[in-house]
Amino acid sequence: MSLVSRSTLIAIGISSLLLNFSALAQSRATDQQATKPAVSTRAISAEEMQALLKRDGTRPLLVNYWATWCDPCREEFPDLVEIDKQYRPKDLDFIAISLDDLADLKTAVPKFLREMRAKMPVYLLNVSDPEPAIKSVDPAWDGALPATFLYNQKGEVVYKHFGRVKTAELRAAIEKLVGTKQ
C-alpha cells in the first residue's frame, strides 16, 4: 500500500468519525429542544385570570380558552398560532388559557404547545369548580370549548365565539382594532 493511500484512508476515517460525532451532537441538541417547553405554562387562580383580562388602555387582547382533550380546540390552534405570529407585532396581546387538569400542566399541555410551535403566554386555570370563573368571563358562556374573546384597549369584548373560531371573521375583528400598523 502506498503512502498516499494510507494517508487518504486515515483522512477518510477521521472525516467519518467527525461526521458521526457531529450527527450525534445534533441529535442530542434536537432531543433536548424537544423536551423543552415552547412557552412557559403556569397555573392561575380565577382572580389571577381576571387580572390578566384587564386592559390598561394600550393594547387589545385576544383570549382563547381551550384544552388538549378538546378536538375543535386542537383543530383551531394552528390558526391561532398564525394569528399570534401575524398580529403580535401589530400590538395585539394574545393569551391562551387551558382548562386541562392540573396534572397535565407538565405533560400534555407543554407537549401540545411544542407540537403547535406556540409562542403566546399560556395559563392553566386551576380552580376546583370552573363554572364561577367561566361566568365571570361571560355570563352567557356555558363553558363549551373552545371559546375565544377579543377585548379592545378599554377591556370591552368586541368579538366572542364559542366553538371552533371562524378565522376570517376573527381576523376582520382584529383588523378593526389594530389596522395595518407595522
Look at 36-45, 70-79, 141-150, 159-168 and tell me which has the smallest mean pLDDT: 36-45
Contacts by 132-140, CB closer than 8 A, 24 or more apart: 132/46, 133/46, 133/49, 136/46, 136/50, 137/49, 137/53, 137/65
> What per-residue confidence (pLDDT) applies to 40?
78
> What per-residue confidence (pLDDT) applies to 33?
44
> What per-residue confidence (pLDDT) applies to 18?
46
For residue 110, give every residue at least 6 positions away whose Cβ sits within 8 Å of its Cβ, in sequence order, or none: 37, 38, 41
The answer to whether 145 and 99 have CB atoms below 8 angstroms apart is yes
Task: Flag whether pLDDT at 84 surpasses 60.
Answer: yes
Task: Flag whether pLDDT at 43 surpasses 80.
Answer: yes
For residue 73, give every residue at least 6 positions away whose Cβ sits within 8 Å of its Cβ, in sequence order, or none: 66, 67, 145, 146
pTM above 0.85, yes or no: no
Percent of the chain with pLDDT strictly greater than 70: 77
Q: What amino acid is encoded at 8 in this protein?
A: T
Mean pLDDT of the chain: 84
* H/E run at residue 107: none
